Chains A and B, each alone.
Chain A
Amino acid sequence: MEVSIDATRCQGHALCLSADPAVFDFDDEEGKAFVARAGVPDGSADAVRKAAANCPESAIAVRPEGGRP
């Protein structure tokens, strides 16, 4: 599973950072989240899916490894 954040949509609500800080990181100056590791570890799959479903700006895309969003 791979995850990405659309920086043009992200407004820094930071719910993803709470969902899984191993996968999502945060730029304190820009006030935006970014993906720390695009390849999602197996143990994080649920948290990442949850982060995508709850993102207020629909900025998080999840896709199978090597697949299309």
Chain B
Amino acid sequence: MTEENGMTRPEHVPADLVVDFDVLGDLGIPQAHAEASRWRREKGPVVWTDRNGGYWIVVGAEEIRRGLVDVSLFDSASRGVKMVTIEPREALVPLELDGEEHTTYRRILNPFFAPRRMRLLEDDVRKVARQLLAELAPTGSCEVVADFARPLASSMFLSMVDWPLEDRVKLENWVKRQVNGVAGESEEANRRIQAEALEAVTEYCRGQITSRRERPREDMTSTLMNATVDGAPIPDERLVGLLIVLAAGGLDTTASVTSQAVELFALHPDMQAYVREDGSRIPAVVEEMLRVGAPVGPLRAALRDTELGGVEIKAGDRVHFLGQAGSRDPAEFPDPDRVDLQREPNRHMAFGLGPHRCIGAALARVVLAVAFDEFHAVIPPYRLVGSESRLGAVWGMSSVVVEWDVDEVVLP
């Protein structure tokens, strides 16, 4: 190990592969993509950052595919494979489980997220979207994240688990702090912020479980409480870990892609018109926005010494598979920074790959399709007033303000 400015770096890390990348710093999404492209061009598909405890960053599409699919190389279970080093704690389920135990929990969850079942939710999503937009349209402007993207994604999640809708903002804030910390705060401060937020979410989930124990209901939370693993009920700490993962996935990620899309479309009236003209175009638009707006890249730890993209990785090394960047690797995606709303094929990595791929993918696709469809059905041509993005464990928009001419609004 070499130590410099309090940062540690294993000796097998070649100095010329080191980049300065602080995922909890004040870099925005476009800058992060520019950096990742430069690393790939100048250094190759695998680089190292000393920040946040030190870890490899994989930006090559082929290398990401290999690392996420071959579970003999990298595991998800190692505690502390996070942006910041955290105290030992219970596993988040099934995110931080591997092998049989992981498969067992996925089997319990799978039916809830089955693709055809998600499509049945379309009408519900549409109803929520229309309610939100009916209020926004006459005002002539909105902040997309707080006014539309978050409430839409969160409402769907809350109705699935049947938690009170009035807890939405409280939960969103906890999850945001738990997952991303606060950009610009020190590593030390973020460790505390994330731990406190995790504790608050944990308490909340415990409360939901306790209230159902007293009065069982017919919702997803109750069903999970009644599910068994190897003949025994799911232990409470596992149940809590599971609900936390579902909340983090449901509250933060889809809203990020929706907000990034509206920001992009606001800058490109031709894209707005394209989406508005023909609803059958939307599925391909959703895929392209997932590609360019992918908010998450999985974190792993190496199970054994291996080689990835010509780089020597040792057992125990932490690895961030930056799918956001992999989905813009020119080796697989021609002209990768150009948004092509008809891109075909489009094997982006927004939902990850391998056994841990996002279980909520089908739900996210339904929410995004409805969000794009309804937003453009109700909101007339809009312009960007201002926007700000941030990184973290889930990349997203801090705010996206758009405006439109009120006299063009025609409510259905």
Contacts and interface: CB of A to CB of B under 8 A. Distances in A.
A43 B79 CA distance: 50
B107 A11 contact: no
B217 interface: no
A14 B115 contact: yes
Given A54-B345, A54-B347, A56-B349, A29 B107 contact: yes
Contacts of A12: 110, 115, 357
A53 B343 CA distance: 12
Given A18-B283, A54-B345, A54-B346, A29 B115 contact: no
Contacts of A9: 69
B355 A30 contact: no
Interface in B336-387: 344-349, 351, 353-355, 357, 359, 361-362
B233 interface: no
A69 interface: no
Given A14-B361, A53-B345, A30 B353 contact: no
Nearest to A11: B357
Given A11-B355, A14-B361, A28 B345 contact: no
Given A31-B107, A54-B347, A56-B347, A26 B116 contact: yes
- Please classify the interface of chain A as helix (H, G, I), strand (E, B), loop, or mixed, using the class held by over half of its residues: loop
Task: Classify chain A: how many residues form its interface, as a range.
Answer: 10 to 19
A26 B345 contact: no
A29 B111 contact: yes
Contact of B357 (A26, A29, A56): A56
A4 B114 CA distance: 21
Given A26-B114, A26-B115, A28-B117, A11 B346 contact: no
Interface residues of B, number: 25
Interface string A36-55: 00000000000000100111
A31 B69 contact: no
B106 interface: yes
A13 B117 contact: no
Contact of A56 (B110, B111, B113, B351): B351
Nearest to B357: A11
Interface in A10-34: 11-14, 17-18, 26, 28-31
Contact of B354 (A11, A28, A53, A55): A11
A28 B359 CA distance: 12
A30 B357 contact: no
A50 B287 CA distance: 14
Given A50-B344, A54-B346, A13 B110 contact: no
B107 A13 contact: no
A29 B227 CA distance: 13
A57 B110 contact: no
A53 B345 CA distance: 6
Contact of A13 (B111, B283, B346, B351): B351
A29 B110 contact: yes
Given A11-B354, A12-B110, A26-B116, A57 B69 contact: yes
Max chain B Cβ within 10 angstroms of own Cβ: one of A30, A54, A56 = A56
A13 B111 CA distance: 14
B209 to A, nearest CB: 24
A46 to B, nearest CB: 11
B345 A31 contact: no
Contacts of A31: 106-107, 110, 113-114, 359
Contacts of B351: 13, 56
Interface of B: 69, 106-107, 110-111, 113-117, 283, 344-349, 351, 353-355, 357, 359, 361-362
21 contacts: A9-B69, A11-B353, A13-B351, A13-B357, A13-B361, A14-B362, A17-B116, A26-B114, A26-B116, A28-B114, A29-B107, A29-B110, A29-B111, A31-B110, A31-B114, A50-B344, A54-B344, A56-B353, A57-B69, A57-B353, A57-B354
Interface of A: 9, 11-14, 17-18, 26, 28-31, 50, 53-57
Q: Which 3 A-B pairs have the closest CB atoms?
A: A31-B110, A28-B114, A14-B115
